[in-house]
Amino acid sequence: MSEFHRSGERIVATFGYPEAGVFRHAAEQMLVLLGADPDNPAANGIPDPLEQLAALGEQDTPPPQDPALHRLLPDAYVDDPAASARARRLTEDSLRSGKVERMRMLHDGLPADGGDVSLSVQEADGWLRALTDLRLVLAVRLDIDDDETSDQKLQRALLSEDDSEAGTAAIYSYAGLLSESLITALMGDL
């Protein structure tokens, strides 16, 4: 398993072919979830700024129906759905655009056949945010929603006879380890 470490001004890791493939595929799935076309960086699923300006007078934006997407794009006001819908109309496209940009950075930064990854501090921050978004989505898919039962649910999922659930749990765990190594490498600046 790869781990990031500091090498001078860069944050580096070497990914094997299977690791790179798994995380590239996960990033592609995240791009689809966010409404972007993984094969076309220009088609990010976000309206252009003029369309957004024209939409300011339009009706409020409801929350996403997919619980995982809703976790990525949460309500601004937990106890006020109307205020959340108004806030969502004004902020969701920007939030989504940033998430798409960081997920593309993760996807495009991983060599398709495995190999070395060398990140600037800014790129490492983008990767860390993308991995966090990935873990949030996988946590929803695994029904990991609180600290008290998360370890038990994760262990149960890792040992599941359902290959899909076990694989999702393994990616969730590995993304956490990568995140930790990125944090450690980034803290080398302090």
Of the two residues 157 and 127, the one the predictor is more confident about is: 127
| Tokens 């899909």 belong to residue | 164
With respect to residue 127, please indicate whether it lies within any of the assigned structural domains: yes
- Of 89, 186, 70, the closest CA to residue 136 belongs to 70
- Of 189, 181, 179, 92, the closest CA to residue 129 belongs to 179
Residue range of the domain that includes 14: 5-46+67-72+94-189
C-alpha 17/C-alpha 90 separation (Å) is 41
Overall domain count for the chain:
1
> Strand, helix or coil at 117?
strand
pLDDT band at 42 (very low <50, low <70, confident <90, very high): low
% of the chain surpassing 70 pLDDT: 87
